[in-house]
Amino acid sequence: MEENKNSTPPEAPAASSVPAARPAPAPRAAPSFDGPRGPRPERNGQRRGRFSGPRPPRVCPFCTQKVKYIDYKAGDQLRRYLTDHGKIKARRKIGTCAKHQRRLALAIKRARHVALLPFTTESTRGE
């Protein structure tokens, strides 16, 4: 057998400019939360504890009464929407829509300006 000295070794197939596709990752099983008390029970979207059951849809109190203007002179009604320290309560706590929350904040600020509502409580002022 005579070898040909002029022959070149067989070339590897040319690498294409497109990278090789990665195989799809295998689907993971849900992690098991086996703690010291054992596996967690399946809840299927239900809440647990004292407030079990679906939440009722929160509706804006001003929209249900079809209020067009929140009167800043009604200080007793506006006081409901203030915390103990005199801050305006958040939308998610009261349930107001964005439009009425803006109008409520404006009415509270006007009532504070004409001294119908306090800016802060007496306990935070140190009196």
Q: What is the mean pLDDT of each run of 10 residues along the chain (127 residues)?
A: 60 62 72 69 65 78 94 94 93 93 96 92 69
Rg (CA), the chain: 34
DSSP element (H, E) containing 86: none
Whether domain 61-125 has CATH 3.90.1530.30: no
Model-wide pTM > 0.85: no
Nearest C-alpha neighbor of 61 from the set 87, 88, 93, 106: 93
pLDDT at 57: 78
pLDDT at 58: 83
pLDDT at 32: 59
Helix intervals (H) in 3-121: 61-64, 75-78, 91-94, 98-113
pLDDT at 56: 77
pLDDT at 70: 95
